[in-house]
Structure 1
Amino acid sequence: MMNRVKYNLYILIGASIIIIISQLLSSFLTTSSFEKTYKETVVSRYRIVSKEIRKNVETAIDYGKPLDRFGDYNRIIDISSGEEKTGIKEIIIASPEGDVFYSMSAGITGKKVPFKRIPVFKNQSDEYTFDTKTVIYTALPLYYNKTDWTGVLYLGIDSKMIKDQVAPINQKTMKYYGFSLSLALFITILVLSMLLLYTEKSKKREMFISIIIFVILTFSQLGSGLVNNKLYEVEYSKLFNQNMKTLSRVVKTGFDFVLSLDIKIDRMKKAEEIIHERVKDNIECLEMRITDTNGFILYQGDKNNKSIQVGSGEKENFAANPFRIVTTLNSNQQLKGYLFVYMNREIIKEKQRNLILDILTVILISIVFGFEMMGFLHILIVKNTKLENAVVVQKSEDNMQIIRFTAFIFFFAELIPLSFMPIYINELFNLQPLQLFNTSRGTIMGLPISSYMLGVMIFVPLIGFITDRFGVRKILLSCSLLLFAGAILSAFSTSIIQLMIFRFISGAGYGGIIISSTNLIIHSIPDKSRTTGFGYWSAGFASAAICAVPIGGILVSRLGFRNVMIISGIAALILLLFIFVFIKKDVVIEDDISDEKKHASLSDFLCIFKNRNLLVNTLLSSIPYSLAFVGLFQYLFPLFMDNKGISQSDIGRVLTIFGIISLSTPFFSRIADKIKNDKLFIAAGNLINGVFLLLFLINPNIYIFILVIIGLGFGSMLTDAATESFITSTDTAKRIGEAKTLGIITTYEKLIAIFVPLTAGALISATGFINTTAILGIFIIISTILFIIFSTNPRKNEGKDE
């Protein structure tokens, strides 16, 4: 046994490591999130310049000058002569196909654009932004007479310039986190040392240790988060002000030119249309006004209206206003009037609100991550208190901790791509479109997800056949290796076909671990606590969803799709190492385990059709659940939010709600074990899923979407808490073995899940997103009603037997 000093040292070192890792994670995510916001705001300033260049080019096109016959582009693009000029690394004017007519860089004119991605524009208001290694490009379409798409204007912004601007802000952020970390470590070591020295080892003391770590972690995160949020608000306000100054300067340049032609300021034709168009093109601007030298308003324009105010007698207020930029309008250095540019205060508030949400999301992720690390610390201490030749775990309570942390790492690796996988597929489709027998785009984009499910379906029964021969540990290690290989290969996919193959490999690894984990739970948790054991697995999934989904969304904005897929592969590698170290032998428990048949026969695979509860559960519960989770949660919802213009980080943040709710699964699992009526929980969960999906018929906005996610979270939590127990309590499971039965059922479920993305894609193409969710909601409700009618409660006599 570990002596007291060594035990106390483990606690102090472990607690310190948890605090350090959580703070490092928090600082990385916070700076990454702010860098994304900072970059988007800077890019929006250069987009103002780009739109002014486009206006000049399109004016020339409208006068009949073809793009490929311009003699001197430099006169047209001279608008970039302000302070933004230092950040412009490239300006390219090209055909829709990518043939370059003009470039700031020598040797590109007459060739193809120096990047693979060539955007396709459907209308004049479309805008695209994409990154290369050193340049951030904004792309705007060039139209002839606002009807014919004739070219593309690319403006390249120096990435290094943005990084250099962000660096000093990040240094301040790291100082705040450094101070917070030092203080948190000091308090942690001081308080825990006193507790360990003056109290005896007990479960009560272990609970106090966990509470102390949790409280210190929470307050340190909140303190550093709030301080950094204030810093970010100040920096964002500076950026916003710079953007408005740029807009003001660009508009002023145009009107100064008109006034230099001896046109009087109150006689400028279409001045109100010009400022109206500028406001419409810039979401950060609320309104523009032009006045004479005495402040009388002559022209006015906002996003919806334009008007000539000459002679109205309305006068502008010259009092100081922090949300307004005032610029003089001159002719030959003589004052002719003023330009007033009003900032959109709602946009400022929205950005500040997003900054706060980012900070709170990061704090939540760090706390949940720290909580799981506390579980790992418990596992580590338990392992080091066992005899060297003992089995891995000896108590079901310890088993549950290993089950939960295994689930956490496993799902963390697999859920990282969740917030962006459909968008990644869309990117690959745009780069290399795929045609299959006149299949719709939506159906083709569902193929990589279906291939993933196909891998799951094939490997679930395969692993069921070979588990007894090779053991759970070897299977888990091998499948972790498949997860690693699938993620790394997916990162380097260049087409949807390649991605389909590599996601199949990932699906094979996923299926193997899912069925092996079922064996792990069944053979390490007593029958009376079986539902709780599955609840701990679901809780590990919930924690992973909270951490992995937003982390994936934040990282993809900073590192790109491919690099984040590599990170997913690294997480799978960590899973492999954890299994190698902490699952040394076949797991046993205190209770005896009934003998099971070594292999599932063909007749066993047909057992589902002989047992009413299994058949009803598969057809009327598993299918609806797959539609709700795979079809909607993993496929339709990310695409829906992306189409609404919601960023990947926001998609991850919204989907995190699902994980937060699912954290309570162990609690409801314990209730299900006491009530012993799994049918009730399954029916209630699926009904909630179906009813909440119908809410989209009311008003398909982001708030309804969040409400639907909350409903799916509660519904899935109740279903997860009882489904496995419902299956393993049937007569068939008792006859052929619980693990084998779950493996067979899982095979059927994954077979069904293969067709879910394809079905969802086809429904979207045929009926649209809203109608698709309504159809699925109605289907789930009808299926649940039939489930209630035809199923029975297989645990109704369990309490009597005991």
Structure 2
Amino acid sequence: MKLFLLQKEKAAGMNNETTSLGRKSRYTGLVFISAALLLIIVVLAFTGGLNISSFQKKYEESVVFSLVAPTKQTIGKIEYALKYGKELEHFYGLRELIDELLDQLEEVNEVRVLWPNEAIAFNRDNVILRVPIEDTSIIETLRDRHEVATKLENDSVVHDYMLERLENEYLLSVPIYNPHGYWEGSVQLAFDRSVVSTRTGEYLFILLRYLLLLAAFAALILVLTMSRLPITDHAGKLRSKPLLILIIAIMSVIQITYGYINYQLFSRAYINASQEVAVSAAEIISRDIQSVIEKGVPYSDLYQLDTYLQGIIQELPAIEQINLMNEENVLASSEGGRDRIESTMESDYTFEVGLIPDQTGNLPYIHVLLSETAIKTELRMIVLDMVTVLITSILFMIEISILVLLLLSNGLSNGVKKKKEIPRFTQQSPADTTMIRPLSFIFHLALFLSAAFIPIMSKELYEPLWGMSENLIIALPVTIEMFGAGVGVILAASNVDKRGWKPLFLLGALSVAIGMLICSLPSINILGFSLARGLAGFGYGVCFMALRALITSGASGEKQTSGLTSFFVGLYAGINCGIIVGAMLADRIGYHPVFTIGVIIVVLTGLFVLKQMKNTIPIPRKEKNISFGETFNQLGGFVRNKQVVAFLLLIVLPVAACNMFLDYYFPIFADHEGLSTSDVGRAFLVNGLIIVYLAPLFSKLFLKWLGVEKALLMSGLLVALAMVIFGVKGSVLTAIIAVILLGLSDSFGLVAQNKYYLSLKATGQLGTGKAIGYYDNMRKVGQMLGPMIFGGVVLMGQIGIGLLGILFLIMLLFFWVTRFRNDAEQQKRGSGNELSL
């Protein structure tokens, strides 16, 4: 009987445990579905938000184009009078001209005429105000913007008007030039932001509706799948891999579907916006021509009508050609010819507007031909943006999904136990590296949001400083940032064994947040920006070493290897996502708000570390105690070793410096060539994807086929080749080729550098940890010198970068000739931990 009762109690206990596990599994499943659904909504909302902002920018441009054309007609009349001695300050008849302009532009609330000291404001209530301009910086900005535009050789790529986006309105300034071609003043149009936001709001509602429908569909699929797929195994552990595959598959399908809907919606919207511009242009032409025809002038006597039509479409890239024609002849054409255009094209790209007959009975019409090439080019850019967002969102979804699954797994492992207090400091405790990948991802995402536009922003902030050349001053923020990172690495390396990784990471995150916060200030100058980047760089160096210390605090070599791999995967994913997201946001909301977003993410990362992760210190290795004299002699022997010196000075330093072509020079070059910040971000993405996805394959192939030394030289040759190709012909194409070659070089070159360096006898004698520290610092020195080198060589033009590549080729040859061969034991290249980037 007693045995029966014991068995019954045991069975009851097992049933209770099974019930508890089942209840816990159902609860975890509900949390998983909720988290997955929230993630889907966030990603779709971000995608839709980017696309909405893209359309808003395009529609904004179409509104501006429709306002610029009639404004320039009015300005033409003003400039004609200035040729005959009239002064803008005392322009008789100005009110009539502006009233006529206000009648044409229904969206505009007020028109202001500005000159260096005063402005006259005309509004629709016939109230005229003459006010002094107290903020002279506005005038200087207008003068600089307009005078630079007049000096450009290719006027078709840069417009001479300027658009300011205020809180409640837009200010569109169109310049007035004097007879000598210099800026005399501006006509400024003020119109409400609702002119643009009302239209984009219609599409926002449509996108929101599709988002909710797709989210509901995703929720249905998740619920149906989870009802058949157990979320935990028999031991109560989370089935992470099947769940990760499930959520990525669902989100990828949803994201692709949403992207297709976005493209269909916005391609139609962009064509409509282009048609609205064309209609506006046709109305202007119709109004001007009919005002003359009504006075009895026949169409055949209209003077310089071809030139007039050319002036109309000069600021309207969406229009290819405008013709004044009747059933038999072309009376005038913006192309200057008289070739008839058959109206057989798609209705989306051509339409006609009728005119009144003249006294001879001639009844022509205006034929407008939209530029199919220009519109399709813009649509291709929309597709390119969407593909970029798709790739970035998939990377983002993978990393955040891993974080969600790790949190759920930790919740399951903790069970219903009372939450224990996280110890503030744990002496020699093994590291928990499970969170290293999402932590590395989120931190690097925040840090690299601004990477694509820091050199461009430096160029915009340029001002004379300490007698330095312009190129060196522009390079200053990146150089000081790299210097700060090197200092941070050194200080963190000397303190991490005493304080542990967590306090140093929090200190570094605070430094990064403060530096980025200073960068977000609109009033910042080039010196303040440089110092702020140095502070952010210092924080990054500290955080980098703190995270490396978190990995090395594990007692198990297997855990260290796993943690290191997770760290670099998260790092590259964070860099790629950060650069792309930051670049696309900068194109839409400006540079300064992107820094603010970065600050928020860094602060949230710091709070997560503070609350959820414990402090650890690296477990000390058992090493033989040596005296200071022995240590000094050992260090002296290391730095005098010819193999070490040749490797660090002839390989590591120049490779790190040349790689700053992407980080520093390419954004400035791309901006000069008219590429957007998003295009710069895409170049970074291509480079990063090559490194991430080709590195495992190329490392094995090149190291196996060529050996370590030849692979090392091959990677250097690719870097030199990238510089030479761009130096021979500096174009967007060769710049992209250079970026690709740099990515290919890094994909196996870093591993080759690692293996070669750790196989040297001098490295083993000094100790791997110390040797890695010297390697890291030499890379930081190269990254610090890179911007200064590029800033100097570009004074010779693009050929200077080609000469830099040739110099590196000579250094590679010198390294090959002067290297000392190791003995048989040293030639056997051992594997080691990968070094920092």
TM-score by length of 2: 0.83
1:775 aligns with 2:803: yes
Deviations 1:589-610 (A, max 9, x none): 9xx9555999998878767623
In the other structure, the counterpart of 1:425 is 458
In the other structure, the counterpart of 1:209 is 243
In the other structure, the counterpart of 2:119 is 100
Looking at structure 2, the residues matched to 596 and 692 of structure 1 have their Cα atoms a distance apart, in angstroms, of 46
Q: Residue 487 of structure 1 contacts residue 565 of structure 1 at CA under 8 Å; is this kept in 2?
A: yes
Looking at structure 1, the residues matched to 624 and 632 of structure 2 have their Cα atoms a distance apart, in angstroms, of 16
User: Aligned match of 2:485 in 433, 452, 456?
Assistant: 456
Say which is worse superposed, 743-752 or 198-207, in terms of deviation.
198-207
Amino acid in structure 2 at the alignment position of 1:301: S
Q: Residue 524 of structure 1 contacts residue 587 of structure 1 at CA under 8 Å; is this kept in 2?
A: no
In the other structure, the counterpart of 2:290 is 256
C-alpha displacement of 1:531: 7.5
Point out the structure with max Rg over C-alpha: 2
Equivalent residue runs for 1:316-327 within 5 Å = 317=342, 321-327=347-353
Equivalent residue runs for 1:264-413 within 5 Å = 264-291=298-325, 293-302=326-335, 306-307=336-337, 309=338, 315=340, 317=342, 321-330=347-356, 336-384=363-411, 399=433, 402-413=435-446
Looking at structure 2, the residues matched to 298 and 222 of structure 1 have their Cα atoms a distance apart, in angstroms, of 49
Q: Residue 318 of structure 2 contacts residue 371 of structure 2 at CA under 8 Å; is this kept in 1?
A: yes
1:646 aligns with 2:675: yes
In structure 2, relative to structure 1, the CA distance for the partners of 1:780 and 1:57 (3 Å cut) is farther
In structure 2, relative to structure 1, the CA distance for the partners of 1:638 and 1:598 (3 Å cut) is farther
Looking at structure 2, the residues matched to 27 and 603 of structure 1 have their Cα atoms a distance apart, in angstroms, of 62
1:135 aligns with 2:169: yes
Say which is worse superposed, 594-603 or 499-508, in terms of deviation.
594-603
In the other structure, the counterpart of 2:517 is 488
Q: Residue 729 of structure 1 contacts residue 795 of structure 1 at CA under 8 Å; is this kept in 2?
A: yes
Unaligned runs of 5+ in 1: none
Q: Residue 531 of structure 1 contacts residue 672 of structure 1 at CA under 8 Å; is this kept in 2?
A: no
Q: Which has the higher contact order (CA 8 A, sep 6+)?
A: 1
User: Aligned match of 1:576 in 606, 609, 615?
Assistant: 606
C-alpha displacement of 1:487: 0.5
In structure 2, relative to structure 1, the CA distance for the partners of 1:503 and 1:59 (3 Å cut) is same
In the other structure, the counterpart of 1:555 is 585
Partner SS for 2:163: strand
C-alpha displacement of 1:32: 2.9
Q: Residue 496 of structure 2 contacts residue 617 of structure 2 at CA under 8 Å; is this kept in 1?
A: no
Question: How many residue pairs get matched?
Answer: 779
User: Aligned match of 1:55 in 51, 66, 76?
Assistant: 76
Q: Residue 699 of structure 2 contacts residue 747 of structure 2 at CA under 8 Å; is this kept in 1?
A: no
Partner SS for 2:354: strand
1:242 aligns with 2:276: yes
Deviations 1:501-529 (A, max 9, x none): 21121111011122333333444496689
Q: Residue 546 of structure 1 contacts residue 656 of structure 1 at CA under 8 Å; is this kept in 2?
A: yes
Unaligned runs of 5+ in 2: 1-16, 415-419, 833-837
Say which is worse superposed, 778-787 or 342-351, in terms of deviation.
778-787
Question: What is the aligned-residue identity percentage?
Answer: 20
1:24 aligns with 2:24: no
Equivalent residue runs for 1:441-452 within 5 Å = 441-452=470-481
Looking at structure 1, the residues matched to 201 and 371 of structure 2 have their Cα atoms a distance apart, in angstroms, of 28
C-alpha displacement of 1:474: 1.3
User: Aligned match of 1:230 in 248, 259, 264?
Assistant: 264
Partner SS for 1:65: coil
Looking at structure 2, the residues matched to 6 and 621 of structure 1 have their Cα atoms a distance apart, in angstroms, of 56
Equivalent residue runs for 1:681-692 within 5 Å = 681-692=711-722
Partner SS for 2:690: helix
Deviations 1:72-97 (A, max 9, x none): 423223453467422x24433333x5
Deviations 1:440-460 (A, max 9, x none): 222212212222122122222
Looking at structure 2, the residues matched to 65 and 189 of structure 1 have their Cα atoms a distance apart, in angstroms, of 77
In structure 2, relative to structure 1, the CA distance for the partners of 1:230 and 1:534 (3 Å cut) is same
Looking at structure 1, the residues matched to 104 and 24 of structure 2 have their Cα atoms a distance apart, in angstroms, of 62
Amino acid in structure 1 at the alignment position of 2:395: V
1:118 aligns with 2:137: no
In structure 2, relative to structure 1, the CA distance for the partners of 1:491 and 1:107 (3 Å cut) is farther
In the other structure, the counterpart of 2:210 is 176
1:440 aligns with 2:477: no
C-alpha displacement of 1:278: 3.0
Partner SS for 1:342: strand
C-alpha displacement of 1:224: 1.1
In structure 2, relative to structure 1, the CA distance for the partners of 1:382 and 1:435 (3 Å cut) is same
Partner SS for 2:351: strand
Looking at structure 2, the residues matched to 54 and 99 of structure 1 have their Cα atoms a distance apart, in angstroms, of 18
User: Aligned match of 1:37 in 41, 47, 58?
Assistant: 58
Looking at structure 1, the residues matched to 783 and 163 of structure 2 have their Cα atoms a distance apart, in angstroms, of 35
In the other structure, the counterpart of 1:80 is 101
Say which is worse superposed, 374-383 or 670-679, in terms of deviation.
670-679
C-alpha displacement of 1:239: 0.5
Deviations 1:748-781 (A, max 9, x none): 33234333222212322x122x324323333344
Deviations 1:640-665 (A, max 9, x none): 11112222223223322122223226
Deviations 1:694-732 (A, max 9, x none): 333565443443333222222222234454555455445
Q: Residue 286 of structure 2 contacts residue 355 of structure 2 at CA under 8 Å; is this kept in 1?
A: yes
C-alpha displacement of 1:693: 3.5
Looking at structure 2, the residues matched to 598 and 111 of structure 1 have their Cα atoms a distance apart, in angstroms, of 74
Partner SS for 1:662: helix
C-alpha displacement of 1:566: 0.8
Amino acid in structure 2 at the alignment position of 1:73: L
Partner SS for 1:761: helix
In structure 2, relative to structure 1, the CA distance for the partners of 1:194 and 1:734 (3 Å cut) is farther
TM-score by length of 1: 0.87
Deviations 1:417-444 (A, max 9, x none): 1122122223333xxx33422x222221
Looking at structure 2, the residues matched to 426 and 74 of structure 1 have their Cα atoms a distance apart, in angstroms, of 40
Looking at structure 2, the residues matched to 230 and 171 of structure 1 have their Cα atoms a distance apart, in angstroms, of 15
C-alpha displacement of 1:633: 1.1
Looking at structure 1, the residues matched to 577 and 264 of structure 2 have their Cα atoms a distance apart, in angstroms, of 24
Q: Residue 672 of structure 1 contacts residue 678 of structure 1 at CA under 8 Å; is this kept in 2?
A: no
1:499 aligns with 2:529: yes
Q: Residue 393 of structure 1 contacts residue 587 of structure 1 at CA under 8 Å; is this kept in 2?
A: yes
In the other structure, the counterpart of 1:633 is 662
Q: CA RMSD in A?
A: 3.7
Amino acid in structure 2 at the alignment position of 1:182: A
Q: Residue 248 of structure 2 contacts residue 398 of structure 2 at CA under 8 Å; is this kept in 1?
A: yes
Looking at structure 1, the residues matched to 490 and 225 of structure 2 have their Cα atoms a distance apart, in angstroms, of 51
In structure 2, relative to structure 1, the CA distance for the partners of 1:546 and 1:193 (3 Å cut) is farther
Partner SS for 1:419: coil
Deviations 1:666-696 (A, max 9, x none): 6359849995965455433332232233333
